[in-house]
Amino acid sequence: MAVRAPGVVRARLDAWRTGSVHAQWAIAASLLALIGVSLVVSLTNRGLMPLTAYFLWLLVARILLSFRPLVLVASFDAVVGSLSLVLPEEMTPLRWVAVVEFLLSVALVLYVASRSRSSLPGTLSEVLLVDLKERLQAQGRVPALPEGWDSQTAMVASHGDSFAGDFLVADLRDRRLEVILVDVCGKGTAAGPAALQFAGALGGLIGAMAPLELMRAANAFLLRQGDEAFATAVHLVVDLDTGAYQIISAGHPPALRWDLPQGEWLIDNARGTALGVLPDPELHVSQGRLFHGEALLFYTDGVVETRTSHLDAGIAWLQHTALDAVGSGFRGAARRIINQVDSGDDDRAVLILSRSPVASRDRQPI
């Protein structure tokens, strides 16, 4: 029996984590029984079970239960807790104040719970959000690249929020790297749900469709969402054998390419229309080749735009800042760049894909 107890507890805990109705009502029944036992103890010896104990049951119920079971348990707790104070002794003004405060606390807990848009308990809702965030971050990691290539990303949500409208999805197969950097309309938590949904859609399309078809499918997806859902995006495909690349821009700030002979960041000419705006967006394509020691830099508008500066001025600033950032090498340059961006009210992301330099070989492709 002692051996089975941990297994039973674990099974109950796993059932609660699923948020199932059966598990919720099972926990509610357990709490009702414990509250009833508390009343018996209170009537026998108030010192062992004061009114504060019923606050504890209320807190536990709020953590573990969804709204409907919570209403039952909280209501029962309110009645029993009040009776525990009223029945044993003659009521005094101080005791009436305690009862009123307790009932107001129960009402406040129920009100807050009723405002939740999730059908899950508060703790499970938090766990779900964290899991979704981690899935989005995992999907946005560029896979480990073969020798001779390196990638790095740096992302900061506006105001330090946990969720942001900037994200990327990546796919690597047959030495062909495909990356999409996206900036969803909105900032921080306001853009988080839309970014999460759009990231899931792009994650299913990347690698399965030709780049232009993928971008048009993404545009159609956003148009179906309505509610003025739109985003800017840049799509990159790189042949990791030859260094040949293709960039498709959909309203995104222009990419920068580190040109080794000139020793500067050059502006790529890919332009286009944001996704989710027009049924047939204008998508421009640029092509080139990364030689040893060269790199591509992608970023979102939060890096270069402010309320007081123009986009062109922001890009010029980024060219200068990125030049300084790669002075000690590409490793860590994305973080050094984003650390130089003034904290503002927009999400910020930087992605750098670089090809390692080769001694005694200057601009010679593999």
Q: Which residue, 150, 154, 161, is CA-closest to 350? A: 154
Compute CA distances 191 → 127, 199, 214, whole Å.
Answer: 19, 12, 22
Q: Where in the chain is the domain with CATH 3.60.40.10?
A: 146-355
Q: Are 170 and 179 in contact (CB under 8 A)?
A: yes
Compute CA distances 239 → 145, 174, 246, 247, 291, whole Å.
Answer: 12, 9, 9, 12, 12
Q: Which residues contact 223 (CB under 8 A, 6 or more apart)?
A: 276, 279
Question: Can you give the pLDDT at residue 244?
Answer: 97
Please state the rounded mean pLDDT for residues 64-79. 89
Question: Per-residue DSSP letters for 86-131?
Answer: HSSS---HHHHHHHHHHHHHHHHHHHHHHT-SSSS-HHHHHHHHHH
Question: Can you give the pLDDT at residue 360?
Answer: 39
What is the DSSP-derived secondary structure letter of residue 143?
P
> Residues of the chain with pLDDT > 70: what percent?
79
Please state the rounded mean pLDDT for residues 66-90. 85
Q: Which residue, 184, 187, 297, 309, is CA-closest to 247? A: 297
Q: Give residue 157's pLDDT band: very low, low, confident or very high (50, 70, 90).
A: confident
Q: Which residue, 152, 150, 146, 181, is CA-closest to 333? A: 152
- Please state, in angstroms and rounded to a whole number, the distance separating the CA atoms of residues 96 and 59: 22
Q: Which residue, 343, 208, 236, is CA-closest to 297? A: 236
Question: Can you give the pLDDT at residue 230?
Answer: 86
94 C-beta neighbours (distance < 10 Å), count: 7
Q: Give residue 134's pLDDT band: very low, low, confident or very high (50, 70, 90).
A: low
- DSSP E strands, the chain: 149-156, 166-173, 176-184, 231-239, 244-250, 256-259, 264-267, 284-289, 295-299, 348-355
- Please state, in angstroms and rounded to a whole number, the distance separating the CA atoms of residues 67 and 112: 10
Task: Collapse the DSSP code of 166 into the 3-class scheme (helix H, G, I; strand E, B; otherwise coil) and give the result.
Answer: strand
Range in 8-22, 220-234, 238-252 the model is least confident about: 8-22
Q: Give residue 82's pLDDT band: very low, low, confident or very high (50, 70, 90).
A: confident
Six-digit token pair at 27? 């926990």
pLDDT above 60 (res 2)? no
Q: Give residue 306's pLDDT band: very low, low, confident or very high (50, 70, 90).
A: confident
Q: Which residue has the higher pLDDT, 126 or 360?
A: 126
Please state the rounded mean pLDDT for residues 119-125. 62
Output the pTM of the full model: 0.69
Question: Can you give the pLDDT at residue 35?
Answer: 92
Question: Can you give the pLDDT at residue 163?
Answer: 53
Q: Are 150 and 203 in contact (CB under 8 A)?
A: no
pLDDT above 80 (res 108)? yes
Please state the rounded mean pLDDT for residues 293-319. 88
pLDDT above 60 (res 160)? no
Q: Are 53 and 84 in contact (CB under 8 A)?
A: no
Domain spanning 146-355: CATH 3.60.40.10 = yes
Question: Can you give the pLDDT at residue 1?
Answer: 45
Q: Which of 86-90, 92-96, 97-101 has the highest mean pLDDT?
A: 97-101
Range in 17-21, 180-184, 197-201, 215-219 the model is least confident about: 17-21
